[in-house]
Chains A and B, each alone.
Chain A
C-alpha cells in the first residue's frame, strides 16, 4: 500500500488542485528503501544538487527514485529545504535551524549522511557545524560516546598521546 505524503500548502487537499496550478512545477520523490512518496515543488527539490542535475539532464520523469534515504529523513530534509527556499531573513533562518537540529545523535547522523548523499550544501553545513559544536572541548571518552566510536587504544597508547599534547586538554 503506497503512502502518499504531501508537503505543501495545507489548504490544497486534492490532487486535482495540484495539477491545476500551472505556475509551479512539482516533482514526486520516492525513497526506494521504504517506498514513501513525497510531492514537492521543483524549486525546493533542486536545493539538492543531485536532484538538480537529474532535472537539468531531463532524466527526471514523473517519479524520482531516491535510494539510501529513509522516509522520515526525507520528510525532515524537505521541511528544511522548504523553509530555506521561502525565508530570506538570516535571523529567522538561524532560529529555525537551531530548533530544527535539536535532534538526537541518531537522527542527526541520518540527516547528515542523507544531506551528503543528496549534496544539499546548506543542510550539510548546518548539521556538521552542530556536530562540531557538540564535540568541541569534550574529553576523548565523551567524544567517543557522542560519535559512537569504540575505544581501540591501549592504556599505554592513550597515556602517551595524552603526554604529547597535554596542553590541548588544559584551559
Chain B
C-alpha cells in the first residue's frame, strides 16, 4: 500500500489556514519555494484572507514611524511591531525615499499609507507634488503621476493652487482611491467651500491618469486637517461647525455627520448653544487671551478624529480625563463614550494621538513636536482604563538622532497586497 510519491499537504489548507498565520515577511519569502506560489500569493482572495487574519495575530499590527533628514533630503520609514508578548520591540528601517521637501504621511487604509508633499509649503506656479502609495508590509511604493495644477478662482489665469491629498478604500468597487482636493490659495482662511474640484485616482482599473470631478461641499472646511477612512468614506472633523464632513468614495459625494450631544462641549470652538458666539459656557470677553486660546485651539490637533478598529472616533481631553466618543452605529449616527484618567505628567497639548486596529484602543505619541528625537509612545486601552508604554529596542541606529526627530504616523495591520505597476 506504500506509494512512492511522498504525501503532500493539500495546497488549499496551506494557503487558507497556515500561511495566513505567518508574518508578511515570511509569506513573501515563500515566493521562491514553488512556481505556482508566486502567483498564489498575489491572489486577491488570499490577500484578503491574510489581511483579515492580521487583526487576529499578536504580531499582525505594527507602528509606522517616519522622519525627514533635511541634510540628505531623505524621508525614512521605520516600523515596529506592537506584539504584546515582547517587552521591547525591535524597530526596522523599511524604506528611504529620496525627496526634496519633507513629506506628509496620511493615516493608513488597510495597512497602506499615502505619502505626499505637504500642502502648505511655499506656493509656486509650476510645483509638482510628490504623491506615493506606500505599503510598509511589502516595502513597496507606487509613485503616482502628478495631478495637473488647477486654475485659481481668485486669480484666474494663474494656477496658484494647493492640493491636499487623501487616501481611502471604496468598499463597493473594492478599489483604493487617492483624492486630491484643490484649494484656491486666494480663498480667505484657506477654506474649501461651495463647489470644489477633486482629482480622483483609483489604483485598480488600469487607468494611469487622474479623473477630475466637481463636487459641492456642504460645509467649509480646512483641507489641511487629516482625513480618516472608514466604511468607504473619508472623514474630516470640522471643528467650528461641530460636524464631521464625509466624502463617499463610491458615490463621490460629500455629506455631513452631526457630532453627538456632549462631544467637544468644552473643547470645540463651535456654537453649541446657538447664541452666535463660540466659547460656549464662558464669558464673552474679547480680550487678547481669548484670541490666543482660539488660535491655539485652531492649530491644535485636539480634539481629533481617529480610527479604532473599524469605527470612527473623536478623541478629546480635559484636566482630568481622556474621552473617546466612538461612532458605533454609523447609519443612525449613534455615539458611545468611554473615558479614562491619565497621569498628571502627560502634557497632552504636545501629544499626537492616532488610532489602532483594535476597538477602544489608541496610541499616543507624548512628545510630538517637542524636538525630542525618539518618540515616547503609549498605547491606551479605554475599556480597561490602562495604558502600556511601547519600548523600542534599537535606538534608530541608522539615523543620526541628534539632528532629526522621529514621529509616529500610525498603527497598521499587515497587508501583502501588491501595488499595481503604473
Interface residues in chain A, defined as those with a beta carbon under 8 Å from any beta carbon in chain B: 106, 109-110, 112-113, 116, 124-125, 128-129, 131-132, 135-137, 140, 143-144, 147-153, 157-158, 161-162, 164-165, 167-169, 171
Contact = CB atoms under 8 A, between A and B. Distances in A.
A132 B29 CA distance: 13
A143 B92 contact: no
Contacts of A131: 9, 18
Interface stretch (B20-28, B204-212, B325-333): B20-28
A135 B31 contact: no
B28 A157 contact: no
Interface of chain A: mostly helix, strand, loop or mixed: helix
Interface stretch (B32-40, B241-249, B284-292): B32-40
Interface residues of B, number: 26
Given A157-B32, A169-B29, A148 B6 contact: yes
A101 to B, nearest CB: 14
Contacts of B35: 152-153, 157
Nearest to A146: B9
Nearest to A113: B10
B32 A171 contact: no
B139 interface: yes
A140 B29 contact: yes
A137 B22 CA distance: 10
B191 to A, nearest CB: 43
7 contacts: A132-B19, A140-B33, A144-B34, A148-B9, A150-B34, A161-B32, A161-B38
Interface of B: 6-10, 13-14, 17-19, 21-23, 25-26, 28-35, 38, 92, 139
Given A113-B13, A132-B19, A144-B34, 14 more contacts: A128-B18, A132-B21, A132-B22, A135-B22, A135-B26, A147-B14, A147-B33, A148-B7, A149-B8, A149-B33, A151-B34, A164-B31, A165-B29, A168-B29
Nearest to A143: B33
A82 B379 CA distance: 40
Contacts of A125: 17
A132 B18 contact: yes
A75 B13 CA distance: 22
A18 B92 CA distance: 61
A167 B21 contact: no
Contact of B26 (A124, A137, A150): A137
A169 B13 CA distance: 25
A158 B17 contact: no
Contacts of B14: 147
A167 B7 CA distance: 32
Contacts of B30: 140, 143
A124 B17 contact: yes
Contacts of B92: 171
A109 B30 CA distance: 19
Contacts of A136: 22-23, 26
